[in-house]
Structure 1
Amino acid sequence: MKRILTIVLVFSLLAGCAKKSEKISEEGGVPACGDTIIEASIGDASRLNPVLATDSASGDINALVFNGLVKYDRNIKLVGDLAQSWEVSSDGLIITFHLRKGVKWHDGEDFTSSDVRFTYERLIDPKVKTPYFSDFEKVKKIETPDSWTVRVFYKEPFAPALESWGMGIIPRHILENGDFNKSLFNRHPIGTGPYIFKKWSTMEKIVLESNPNYFEGRPSIDRYVYRIIPDLSVQFSELLKGTIDSMGLASDQYVKESETLPAKYGVNLYRHPALNSYTYLGFNLLSPLFQDKKVRQAISCAINKKEIVETVLQGFGRPITGPYPPTFWAYNSKLKDYTYDLDKARRLLESAGWKDKDGDGILEKESMPFEFTIITNQGNKERELCATIIQEKLSKIGIKVKIRILEWSTFVHEYVDKKKFDAVVLGWSLSLDPDQFSIWHSSQIKKGYNFISYKNKEVDRLLEEGRRIFAPEKRKKIYHRFHEILAEEQPYCFLYVRDALPAIHGRFKGIKVEPLGISYNFIKWFVPKSEQ
């Protein structure tokens, strides 16, 4: 299961440049090759290697440079990518992939089954710093009887098996020697994807160029520039000046400029549900402040989620009770949320031993004041506002909160990954399978995404069982119970899901909103010759 902090774009990548004989698109204009798209990002990438990447910026670039064996189409159905077809044995223990022939790495070498085997070997290598080990630990062995066939044998049934092979495949001929974790490849990647890596200027931009030999056709847009602009307000200013073409709008920007942007600046606005994504306040459970669930429940009672949705998101979202959005099939709709109730919050804290004994307005327990710091990433005003609202609400129940805003790479690698925080406002964008093993299973505290150090034996068992069962109704019961436990224990205060609000310059055509979003057909986007 691919887990990336904040948001991960899934690209379908179908097609190439049009010929003059092709008909005009629905939006007007004949599809043509050329032009550059400049997309803004709050944070820089860390490692352009899909086996090692843990952040959304790296994920965005890797999605264009690499391919998996499978991918999701616009209707959220798994289809072939580097695999043309596959069969699954009746017992679910063997997947046989039939690979595309004639696919080339960007350096001209042939892609073969040997590269798939090599990718798997790196994913299970204990020396490799990958968070995706748990997606492949159930593999018993891999066979490659020829260059175009991969046969994967599982130790036991594994429901997310097929989806897990959406992992980007990496080249054996470049990476089989040397230190994998520190390879120069991680800054100069070579993939099979629709775009070829050209340049990375740290904290400035990453430049890609279209792959003329891409197996599904050359992308219509010649160059893709990923500009790092750590502040959304600065991004918006650049959008108005025309120095960037695309960004994700904050809710207030969308509301204020919904008429001005298209009419005055030629920028089109889109809105669609963010797939399986949510924002949360996470507690470091190694801290003595947060080890009692009554304390975590009290904090959740003191946070007015509806107010956050209405003020921070301008209504472009909805509160949640657990680790799935309300539209997702694994979401347990029977659970009631923690209603905003300061008196209940105070009672819970008192029952946990927290009292204001000296009358200074701050709770104490065994001479320890209830003070902590919330960290979040620079440039995301919505998260900063959430932290500010939480700070104000908790002050009303005797908890003193400080807020620290950190540059994205520092935030992730120096604080979150190293568990050097009290609490964090952050978001997940998850795979479309309900499996959340790498976030919540206790085995994932050391190398996975369980950086809050959550441990629960029943949750461990449920997550293991959910991976072994294929029947949707049985899995639903498992994940409903999993959701119920998290709602009770509140290792996160689950805040909200928000709508995605992309803004893209109007000269780009071929953009359609589908269940998967808008980026699924990115290589079909084009700029008519008359507008280049």
Structure 2
Amino acid sequence: MRKLYWYISSYVRKHGWIFLGSIAIALLFFSFLLPLVNKKLALKKSTYIAIVGEYTLNDLPKPIKNQLSAGLTKIGTDLQAEPLLADRWVVEDDGKQYRFVLKKEVKWQDGQALKPEDIYYNFSDVQTISTPNEVIFTLPEAFSPFPVSVSEPIFKTEWQKKIFFPDKMKIIGIGQYKMLDYKLKGNNLSEFKIDGPDARYIYRFYLTENEAVNAFKKGEIDVLLNISNCYDLCDWSKLEMAKELAYDRYLAVFFNNTDPLLTKNVRQALSYILLKDYGNARAIGPINPNSWAYLQGGKDYGKDYDRAIERLMDDMPRNPLNFELTTSSNFIDEAEMMKKEWQDFSSFALEKCQVNKAIQDKNLCQNLDIKINIKISNFPDLANYQLLLIGQESSIDPDQYFMWHSSQPTNFTHYKNTRIDSLLEKGRKSLDFEERKTIYQEFQQFLLEDPPAIFLRYLDNYSIAR
């Protein structure tokens, strides 16, 4: 025993610092490092989320873009642009140049500092110049909604090298949620994975809401995000369901204004016939009611048979009012209700026409016998319709140039009104806030007087989770 004691004492005297250091390292490892490693290795909770629509890596859906990154600006509660990645901006050259000063110490998800030369938006006809602290956009003409345009999140990309698999493009944003992986079906996304600090989000893509709902029923996904209807899931128990009005999306009957049957008087009459009892969800125009430019008290075309008859008899149709109403499966019930309302009005219209002494040719009265054929298509042809019942998204800025200006190919209603064209041209060039507000309120007033659509209601927005 004494000999063993000498050996141990001699070893401790000679190597004591190593012995003590080993104990300290072991304590540190088991007390701090091992739990940290275990936490990093622990499986994060994965949530599977449905997205409806076709998207690509270059055209990500809004929820994914907003989760992954941020823009130079953000949108405030009144839908005006506010600084985000930009500290401030200055408008120069009568609205043709925008100079954004970047905030300091902003970093990409890969740890690289955000530099002005990193800012890229795929704008056409816009020149972008970088200085050490600023990014400058030069436009071909004045465009007052431009600060809203740069609220779109920014990204950069790099290619990840794979040894046994094809190289993959990686999307890098700003913030703590990072792209982890994705799957493609052809050129379109079928799955997109995002890694967060404490959870993982796997987005799966479906062409229609019905497909997404069926996937939810099969247990393929956990969350249905931003769908227009709860379908039969409303009757399911133990589900978390949130419903809100999407004021940036509205339902309307759009007229094909190239159809000779759809005169201004007929369009107004068709609107007066319908009951629009939607309460707070009632939409009377294309501009978001939360917008600073929204017109309160605009013409709402409440149900009024007398006004409808007046409009029709003021310029009697020379051909029968036979229409095809195209809609998607989401709005079949509303389409059927409209058909009934329009056709029920016919007997009232025929009776009034027969006793109206101003109508000399009573044969024309038969033209007021409205007939509606409903066509169902989940992908309606915007170039081939008479009446189209679909949802439409409102722009953040009140600028409605692309939707209603007669020169635009995106004006699928083929609406032509010189006064509306003039107001839309002025509204997007004016830099004066009050002047823009006046212009867009006039725009709403005149658009409703010569309606290119029957504005019905704001769409419901359901989010459903297990």
TM-score (norm 1): 0.62
The equivalent position to 1:71 in structure 2, one of 68, 71, 74, is: 74
Q: For the Cα contact (< 8 Å) 2:77–2:290, is it kept in 1?
A: no
For 1:441 and 1:116, locate their aligned partners in 2 and report how far apart those are by CA, in whole Å: 31
Q: Distance in 2 between matches of 1:451 and 1:105?
A: 40
1:272 aligns with 2:244: yes
Residue 299 of structure 1, CA deviation: 0.8
User: Tell me, which stretches of 5 or more residues in structure 2 are unaligned?
Assistant: 1-34, 36-41, 160-166, 347-368
Contact 1:325–1:497 at 8 Å: present in 2 too? no
- The residue number in structure 1 matching 2:287 is 324
1:246 pairs with 2:232: no
1:69-468 alignment runs, 5 A limit: 69-72=72-75, 78-80=81-83, 83-89=85-91, 94-99=97-102, 103-104=107-108, 113-114=116-117, 116=119, 119-120=122-123, 123-124=124-125, 141-146=127-132, 149-154=134-139, 157-169=142-154, 190=171, 192=173, 194-196=177-179, 198-201=182-185, 206-210=190-194, 218=196, 220-228=198-206, 230-232=208-210, 235-236=212-213, 239=216, 242-247=219-224, 248=226, 257=234, 264-265=237-238, 267-290=239-262, 292-306=263-277, 309=278, 317-354=280-317, 365=318, 368-378=319-329, 380=330, 383-396=331-344, 397=346, 398-407=369-378, 410-411=379-380, 415-416=381-382, 419-444=383-408, 446=409, 449-468=410-429
Relative contact order, higher structure (CA 8 A, sep 6+):
1
- Counterpart Cα distance in 2 of 1:250 and 1:119: 30
Shift of 1:207: 1.7
Aligned-partner SS, 1:295: helix
Please name the residue that 1:49 is paired with.
Answer: 58
Q: Distance in 2 between matches of 1:189 and 1:423?
A: 43
Match of 1:283, as an amino acid?
F
Compare 87-96 and 277-286 and name the one that shifted more.
87-96
AA matched with 2:404: W
Where do 5+ consecutive residues of structure 1 fail to align? 1-20, 22-31, 51-56, 125-138, 175-184, 212-217, 310-314, 355-364, 506-532
Q: CA deviation at 1:274?
A: 1.7
Deviation for aligned residue 1:329: 3.5
The one-letter code of the counterpart of 2:44 is: G
Distance 1:347 1:275, change over 3 A: closer
Task: Give the secondary structure class of the aligned counterpart of 1:483.
Answer: helix
**Contact 2:54–2:205 at 8 Å: present in 1 too?**
no
Deviations 1:38-89 (A, max 9, x none): 2334x43154434xxxxxx8444554566533233678664555x3423214
Aligned-pair CA distance for 1:284: 1.2
Classify 1:110/1:201 alpha carbon distance in 2 versus 1 (closer, same or farther; 3 Å).
Answer: farther
Pair 75,350 (structure 1): closer, same or farther in 2 beyond 3 Å: closer
Q: Could you tell me whether the CA contact under 8 Å between 2:183 and 2:191 is conserved in 1?
A: yes
Q: 1:406 to 1:59 in 2, by over 3 A?
A: farther
Q: CA deviation at 1:326?
A: 4.2
Q: CA, structure 1 residues 36+329, in 2 after alignment: closer, same or farther (shift >3 Å)? A: same
Figure out how many residues of one structure are paired with residues of the other and give that number.
Answer: 390
SS of match in other structure, 1:96: strand
The question of 1:36 aligning with 2:46 is answered yes
Deviations 1:85-134 (A, max 9, x none): 2321476554222457775588x9997545545723xx33xxxxxxxxxx
Rounded to whole Å, the distance in 2 between the matches of 1:391 and 1:475 is: 39
Deviates more, 1:393-402 or 1:234-243: 234-243
The answer for the alignment partner of 1:479 in structure 2 is 440
Aligned-pair CA distance for 1:332? 2.1
- Flag the structure with higher helix content: 2
The alpha carbon displacement at 1:424 in A equals: 1.2
Query: In structure 1, what is the Cα distance between the partners aligned to 2:187 and 2:270?
Result: 36
Seq. identity, %: 25
**Contact 1:48–1:61, Cα closer than 8 Å, also in 2:** no
Structure 1 stretches of 4+ with a deviation exceeding 6 A read: 108-111, 202-205
Matched to 1:426, the amino acid is: I
Give the CA RMSD over aligned residues: 3.9
CA drift at 1:345: 2.5
Distance in 1 between the 2:267 and 2:432 partners? 34
CA deviation after TM superposition for structure 1 residue 252, in Å: 6.9
8 Å Cα contact 1:118-1:172 kept in structure 2: no
Q: What TM-score does the superposition give when structure 2 sets the normalisation length?
A: 0.70
Give 1:322 deviation, angstroms.
1.6
Separation of aligned partners in 2, 1:502 and 1:252: 8
- Counterpart of 2:314, as a letter, is S
The structure having more radius of gyration, on CA atoms, is 2
Deviations 1:140-168 (A, max 9, x none): x432235x631123466533121111235
Q: Does structure 2 retain, via aligned residues, the 8 Å contact 1:38–1:227? A: no
